[in-house]
Structure 1
Amino acid sequence: IWDQEEIYGKWSVAIEEGHYDFKFRFIQPVPKGGKMYLETGSRINQMQNDVDNAIFIEMANVSLSKMKCDLIPFYKVGNKKIFPFWVEIQKLNEHQ
């Protein structure tokens, strides 16, 4: 059973150009005041989390270019980098 939060993890992915919503699920609730990071190749998206004891963090409408790269998500609070248990990715319809 995966119960360790502070690990290094990544997924090798092929991304199609477009806009995406990401939903990150953590093993334990994370404290507010940290930043959620999403690294895709050389691009880094980040957002501040102001919700205390969040089990989910959502990053909406992230613009990504077409690329093959490593997808590396983590939540940084203080000196801790917390890897999510899972990540849900939804490509947005460009014609809405």
Structure 2
Amino acid sequence: MVIFPILIIISAVFYIYYKVAILREKSTLTQKYFNGRARSCLGAFLIAFAINQYALLLTQISLFVGLVIFAFGVLQLVRGLKEARHYQKEWRRLYPQ
């Protein structure tokens, strides 16, 4: 079960990276795109954390808490992917190559 702690660390690092990138960016459209990416990283973090939590403890309470965290993670991941996809298309529409 080494994969889940690795996923937790990687998603946390990318979440922090995108949140810092928001502060450095001037364009509002790019900030919203980075926020969507950060939200999807947060969702991946929550999902990996919930699975890891249940895999370590294997109790009924950790199952219920893990399911709640997992559900919030899925919601964050889906919303973040939709936001990032939307703002990426919007950026391509405004700045054609």
Query: As a proportion of its length, which structure holds more strand?
Result: 1
Q: With CA pairs under 8 Å and 6+ residues apart, which has the higher RCO, 1 or 2?
A: 1
Which structure has the larger Rg over C-alpha atoms?
2
- Give the TM-score of the pair, scaled to structure 1: 0.24
